[in-house]
Amino acid sequence: MKFLGFLLLLVLLAAGGAAWLVYTPVTPPAETFVDFPSGTGTQAMAQKLQETGVIRSRYAFDLLRIWKQGTLKAGEYRFAAPANALTVYSRIAKGDVYTVAVTIPEGFNLFDIASAVQAAGLGSSDAFLQAAHTNTDLIASLSPGATSLEGFLYPDTYRFSHHTTIRTMQETMVRRFRQQAAKMGIPAGDIATTVTLASLVEKEVHFDDERALAAGVFGNRLQRDMPLQTDPTVIYAALLAGRWSGVIHRSDLDFDSPYNTYRHTGMPPGPICSPGAAALHAAMQPAATDNLYFVADATGHTRFASSLAEHTANVADYRKALTQH
């Protein structure tokens, strides 16, 4: 009887110890990141968790895995708050990986988006740009002749893990565009033209209530076979050529690029940035107007004009206001 009692005591002590190892929270020594590359075995995961101070015992974690019979998912995990082994196991079984936020504002072009991705530590700018010109199959049904994903990486805040591939990032952004385009009801046959016009509106106008008026001006100029003469296309042409200095020079206005709307009539061959919802709506429903010109004023709003004389006066007022500040 004494021996049976001793065995029972040992079992109770072992059970208590196992419960302590599994259910008592562990506080990591500091904010801890644990990365499990694809193909990492569960025992190797347990060992790494113990080595980094996230759990107390790799053996208790292995027993927990056997008991739960779940599948642990690769990826990078962040541990900062106290957590017991059961909580750690549940997070890894769910694939609750650490992600980084990347915000793409309205009006960002491919160069801006690539820089944002690099700044977030999710990939190099050059690799993102190269992929944006390679992965045009993602928008083949939207813009069959597109040479890049420009305009179709929808402005939003995204969260990606460090293991997310650049193609997957771009797929996610294009998927978001498709969702928004469907929600807005952009006709399938007009998507490429709508996005291109919206990108011009996005770059030229900063207030939503002026966007439809700007789209109307562009429409009027196109109908009259007048060059659009919009500076953002000149800047974009210089960016593509690797010659943008931060200031528009006479040589930029003269630069022979299909995107240069000072030299070529009609729309540029594609979008020059990622337009937001307001600009897309404006491109779908331009305002009915007689205006043919617009220019910014000193407050950032836009002054519209139906005659060159009126436009010239608006430009003079703008330049005068600049000299007074």
Burial class (CB in 10 A: 0-12, 13-18, 19+), 182: exposed
CA 238 to chain CA centroid, Å, is: 23
* Amino acid 14: pLDDT: 42
Burial class (CB in 10 A: 0-12, 13-18, 19+), 198: buried
* Amino acid 77: pLDDT: 92
> Count of CB atoms within 10 A of residue 230's CB?
23
Tell me the one-letter amino acid at 96. D
pLDDT tens sequence for the chain (325 residues): 544 444 444 444 344 444 545 556 666 777 899 999 888 988 899 999 999 999 988 888 888 888 888 789 999 999 988 888 888 999 999 999 999 999 999 999 999 999 999 999 999 999 999 999 999 999 999 999 999 999 999 999 999 999 999 999 999 999 999 999 999 999 888 899 999 999 999 999 999 999 999 999 999 999 999 999 999 999 999 999 999 999 999 999 999 999 999 999 999 999 999 999 999 999 999 999 999 999 988 888 999 999 999 998 888 887 777 676 6
Q: Are 123 and 117 in contact, with CB atoms under 8 Å apart?
A: yes
> Count of CB atoms within 10 A of residue 316's CB?
11
Q: Give, in order, the Cα–Cα distances in Å from 250 to each of 41, 50, 105, 142, 149.
A: 62, 64, 30, 35, 29
Half-sphere exposure of 186 (CA within 13 A, CB side): 26
Give ∠ CA 34-55-16 in degrees, rounded to 5: 165
Helix axes of 277-284 and 191-204: crossing angle, nearest 10 degrees: 120
> Whole-model pTM?
0.86
Domain ranges of the chain: 20-94, 100-184, 188-323
Half-sphere exposure of 45 (CA within 13 A, CB side): 26
pLDDT tens for residues 25-49? Answer: 666 777 899 999 888 988 899 999 9
Same fold, 20-94 and 100-184: yes
CA dist 245 and 250 (Å) reads 12
CA dist 65 and 97 (Å) reads 18
CATH fold of 20-94: Dna Ligase; domain 1 (3.30.1490)
Architecture of domain 100-184: 2-Layer Sandwich (3.30)
* Amino acid 62: pLDDT: 87
